[in-house]
Chains A and B, each alone.
Chain A
């Protein structure tokens, strides 16, 4: 994807001088950046640079102190996390947050929550409409599980899965809501080489399906391999935002982050 093309389009997500302070401590300082539709955008930076804080701001878990975050041109400020999810932004967590005491399939079904409508009354009475919806949701859920290779574990308890599969399931659950933008928080952490490669393939397939991906990741090889653009944070500020080749050779990045010097 060439950068020149991108200038013609409106960004899917736009960070406009975003500042976040916690009781006087500035976690992010006037962070600006764009994510174009169809892009895989990586956010990197040393520990404590503010990557996860940025995710928490985008998904509405934290409130922005100053600045604006726009999704498809509309401000996300003041929206609750579930409202932001309904607009089409979902995420995974650094420390996997699967729903325990629920099966693999049920986790993916919760992912479809905003695409389904059965309420208390329809559920209690098992109205034909809600039974139909349930059947369709299960079908879609199974298709999704097949895609990530978890179909044969559909009825196992989610938290009984090995670690690598739990990561995949969390991504599948996020995808189940049909997001426009998927935020992955260190998806490769704790994965072995094979699993990492499968993850790269999965991310590419997700993008091919039309989902824009943001990726916070420490595995530089993976980032440089898969990302179209890389935004580098250091002490809460953007020090670089460009294609991987440029970022890799950026003086500031090398000193601040890669520490090759």
Chain B
């Protein structure tokens, strides 16, 4: 428990330092990382951390696979985007749509709606196990993105909500009264505040009656059930929770990017979320920010350096190298980088680790 507290303090200090450095130093935060991690990337890491923490609870702790998590991320993003940027089309009066509190109100509303959606689809599909559940969530993710692309099946001439493949531009920034949470240095703190809060809440859940019930379900559905755990309810609730965290992150993304479009939330995005969770460690809330950061850094490094290693190496080499790194990681750190690092320390200094 104490170790978690120290972790939270260190992470908070790091975030404060990052923000302070970006604001006060002319060369900016990215100079500290040799230009690999930009300040924008730091914001993205914060946003995706929220999604991956939810995925951790669902997939890592409860053992329920989800290959469609980006759909919930997308639902939050599109909910915020449509009801702000398309408020006029929907006939929402300007006095409301232009009010500073309107987008803030939409964030919890989107979470509630996405949670309800997850509840309705979760009841039937969470009866499936293993590969079947993976397939069902995969399908769910694909369907949701098609709905975005096809304007929810509504003729665009009647009412254009999603903007089809082009997506929705012109999403406003968040404000508190007249204080705009922009430039990005301001938004950064909001995002990481939400990310750190979700880490804290998730850690609390994991180390509680609820978390133990979830882990028990992962270990043996049957044994959990006969000891009195209503496995169906707990699976549904953690699914809903992870969906709501996805939705929160989606709303934050929409106001950060100021535009949304379908590819951000498609199957590849869902898969990347799973990879991030696996890299950080499936059963490790702390792994989430590291997993997200690692994936983004590796991709950025490959993009920037690959052509220097191999002359004329193009995008396809990046993908090959990326796959190779993934395989190596799964072989040498199957429980994620955090636990992998810890076991490395234990191996090198067994005495020190024990004390």
Contacts and interface: CB of A to CB of B under 8 A. Distances in A.
B227 A110 contact: yes
B227 A113 contact: yes
B237 interface: yes
A97 B209 contact: no
A119 interface: yes
B215 interface: yes
Interface in A99-124: 99-102, 106, 109-111, 113-114, 116-120, 123-124
Contact of A113 (B204, B213, B218): B213
28 contacts: A59-B226, A61-B222, A81-B225, A81-B226, A82-B230, A85-B226, A85-B227, A90-B227, A97-B223, A99-B216, A101-B218, A101-B283, A102-B219, A109-B212, A110-B227, A111-B227, A113-B227, A117-B209, A118-B208, A118-B209, A118-B210, A120-B205, A123-B210, A124-B204, A130-B209, A134-B208, A134-B209, A173-B227
Interface of B: 201-202, 204-205, 208-213, 215-216, 218-220, 222-231, 237, 241, 283
A126 B211 CA distance: 12
Given A81-B225, A110-B229, A114-B228, A123 B208 contact: yes
Contacts of B227: 85, 90, 110-111, 113-114, 173-174, 177
A119 B212 contact: no
B213 to A, nearest CB: 6
B216 A110 contact: yes
Given A99-B219, A124-B201, A80 B225 contact: yes
A91 interface: yes
Nearest to B57: A120
Nearest to A183: B226
B215 A120 contact: no
Given A102-B215, A125-B204, A91 B226 contact: yes
A196 B168 CA distance: 70
Q: Counting chain B CB atoms within 10 Å of each CB, which of A80, A113, A177 scores highest?
A: A113
Q: Counting chain A CB atoms within 10 Å of each CB, which of B205, B223, B225, B228 scores highest?
A: B228
B4 to A, nearest CB: 12
Interface in A39-89: 59, 61, 80-82, 84-86
A99 B62 CA distance: 12
A198 interface: no
Given A90-B228, A101-B215, A125-B204, A120 B210 contact: yes
A64 B16 CA distance: 62
A174 B228 CA distance: 10
B210 A109 contact: no
A247 to B, nearest CB: 28
Contacts of A86: 228
Contacts, number: 100
Given A61-B222, A100-B219, A82 B210 contact: no
A93 interface: yes
Given A98-B223, A99-B224, 7 more contacts: A84-B226, A85-B227, A90-B228, A113-B216, A118-B208, A119-B210, A173-B227
B209 to A, nearest CB: 4
Nearest to A130: B208
B317 to A, nearest CB: 38
Nearest to A87: B228
Contacts of B241: 120
A99 to B, nearest CB: 4
A101 B219 contact: yes
A226 to B, nearest CB: 23
A102 B212 contact: yes
A133 interface: yes
A137 interface: yes
A84 B222 CA distance: 13
Given A97-B222, A120-B205, A123-B204, A113 B228 contact: yes
Given A85-B228, A177-B228, A123 B223 contact: no
Contacts of B230: 80, 82
Nearest to B232: A80
Contacts of A119: 210
Contact of B225 (A82, A102, A137, A173): A82
Contacts of A61: 222, 225-226
Contacts of A59: 226
Contacts of B210: 118-120, 123
Contacts of B215: 99, 101-102, 106
Q: Counting chain B CB atoms within 10 Å of each CB, which of A114, A123, A126 scores highest?
A: A123
A82 B228 contact: yes
Contacts of B216: 99, 102, 110, 113
A135 B209 CA distance: 11
A93 B225 CA distance: 13
Q: Counting chain B CB atoms within 10 Å of each CB, which of A82, A90, A109, A137 scores highest?
A: A82
